[in-house]
Amino acid sequence: MNKKISFLVTLGLGVFLNLGQAQEITTEGSAFSDNIQQAFIVQVEKGKEEIMQHLDSIKSVNGHAIEFSNEDILIAQRIQRIQKTIPLEYNERVKAYLDKYISRNYKPYMEKLLGLGQYYFPIYDKIFEEQGIPEEVKYLSVVESSLNPHTVSTSGAVGPWQFIYGTAKIYNLAMDGSYDERKDVYSSSYAVTTYLKEAYDEFNDWLLALASYNCGRGCVRRAIQRSGLSSPSYWELSPFLPKETQNYIPKYVAMTYVLNHAELYGLQPQKTNLLADNKVMMLNKSISLDKLAGSLGLSLEVLKEFNPAYKKGTVYASNEKPRRLVLPYQANFSDSLIYAALNNQIVVPEIKQEYAVDAKFSKNIAAAKKSSVKTKPNTVLSYVTHTVRKGDTLSDIAQKYRGATVSRLKSDNNLRGSNLRIGQKLKVYKGNS
């Protein structure tokens, strides 16, 4: 009995025992094992036949002269197994992109994506879980930008989630001469969750919500009207969508499959600077990235790689407009060292190209380094103060701050009920830093 059949037999025995349907098995019970083996072979063949019939029906409907092999059946089965919330289907359009992604020519590109994914995907996972978005949405960012925050589309879309200027404004992403929040993986990911929740609420279909991220919700609405269909699926609506959107979801499904089965195709993650330990913090004062890198002994290039949203060498921040900094973290860092590096800089106005340094800067840095002990990054909770205005409710306040919730507002401010007073000061949680 080969290993595959042996595994199936073992699995079958476990199922039968759990159902209380097993007979007493002895070392001489080979007949029973053979029956189990045969039953599973029949079941596997039946499953293969059903998948093949499905693939043939797709081929027939779409009128394409394409032949599906036994390997296609295995791929279809694997896609079914990795499916979670978002429905994933294998068809000739998905196959075309999948064949491309697993080809030898694409290997360096796919391995680069795997390496970058080790940094980006945990960030997406945390934000999506917090916001109630299916975790597999993260693969859409790969299709959008190849996980490169500096990618700019022909329509001017920017960042890992490719927001165009107008949409970015709608979702409160800041953009000016020194800062483009579309490139900030945290801010842009929160904006994506808001968009997709709105789209899903409208279409009640995750694939249509994802498709609308490519062509816009109005485009999907018009396609539904033209189709004359009531509550169509993405695949039913696809012929009525723009060509780019017709290819968008097949790319997404194929990329999701390959990145989930990278080892199967001999793909290994490429090394990236972004895999270094890091500490995320919110700044309320301006700093020079160049001076910060120099004082901490960091590579300025790597520091900028972690902070792609800053167009120039300065982070302009204030209490009214705090800014996020992702700091590569080394073993010899301490909180006192980081504090000294962040709080002893004087940054002159943005028209200026040179930056002054506090006279005490060198002395404080030297003292901090001398007393530095090896520590691991600490998680710091980031809060802001909100002054209650007329008409404010806990729900309204929670919606204004990413990461805030009504329950968190109550617990952080020792509130038993929902009554608020005008002028009341509330501590509002804005996430880990």
For residue 399, give the CATH number of its domain: 3.10.350.10
Tell me the CB-side half-sphere exposure of residue 263, using CA atoms within 13 A. 0
Residue 50 belongs to a domain? yes
Statement to judge: residues 109 and 251 lie in one domain:
yes
Q: Do 358 and 292 belong together in one domain?
A: yes
Return the bridge partners of 324, or none. 282
Same structural domain, 320 and 195: no
Angstrom CA distances, 355 to 104, 303, 307, stand at: 49, 18, 19
Instruction: Give me the pLDDT at residue 7, please.
Output: 36
200 and 249 in a single domain? The answer is: yes
Q: Which domain holds residue 187?
A: 104-265
Q: How confident is the model at residue 371 (pLDDT cuts 50, 70, 90)?
A: low
C-alpha span between 109 and 400 (Å, rounded): 39
| Alpha-carbon distances of 327 from 251, 253, 262, 402, rounded to whole Å | 34, 34, 30, 21
Half-sphere exposure of 50 (CA within 13 A, CB side): 8
Which pLDDT band, with edges at 50, 70 and 90, does 254 fall under? Answer: very high
Same domain, 242 and 316: no
Say how many CA atoms lie within 13 Å of 325 toward its Cβ: 25
pLDDT class of 330 with cuts at 50, 70, 90: confident
Q: Say yes or no: 208 and 348 in one domain.
A: no
Q: Are residues 261 and 115 in the same domain?
A: yes
Give residue 374's pLDDT.
Answer: 45
Last residue in a domain, options 240, 265, 290: 265
d(CA 295, CA 359): 14
Q: What is the pLDDT of residue 360?
A: 45
98 in a structural domain? no
Residue type, 197: K
Confidence band, pLDDT 50/70/90 cuts, at residue 188: very high
Global confidence as pTM: 0.69
Structure tokens at 387: 């002054």
Decide which of 221, 243, 265 is a domain's last residue.
265
For residues 283 and 342, the answer to whether their CB atoms sit within 8 Å is yes
Residue 44: the pLDDT is 59
Do 125 and 230 lie in one domain? The reply is yes
Examine residue 99 and state whether it is found in any structural domain, yes or no. Answer: no
Residue 137 binned pLDDT confidence (cut-offs 50, 70, 90): very high
> Which among 10, 41, 65 is the end of a domain?
65
375 occurs within a structural domain? no
Could you tell me the pLDDT band of residue 134, with boundaries at 50, 70 and 90? very high
pLDDT category at 94 given cuts 50, 70, 90 is very high
Highest mean pLDDT: which range of 241-245, 344-348, 404-408, 428-432: 241-245
User: Cβ distance 173 to 188 under 8 Å?
Assistant: yes
Angle between the 30-62 and 70-82 helix axes, to the nearest 10 degrees? 100
pLDDT at 25: 43
Residue that is written with structure tokens 């929670």 in the block: 398
Residues 244 and 132 placed together within one structural domain of the fold: yes
- As a whole number, mean pLDDT of residues 167-172 equals 96
Amino acid at 226: R
Q: Provide the percentage of residues in the chain whose pLDDT is more than 70.
A: 75
**Window from 22-26, 290-294, 319-323, 324-328 with minimum mean pLDDT:** 22-26
Domain count, the chain: 4
Report if residue 354 sits inside a domain. Answer: yes
Report the distance separating Cα 291 and Cα 314, nearest Å: 9
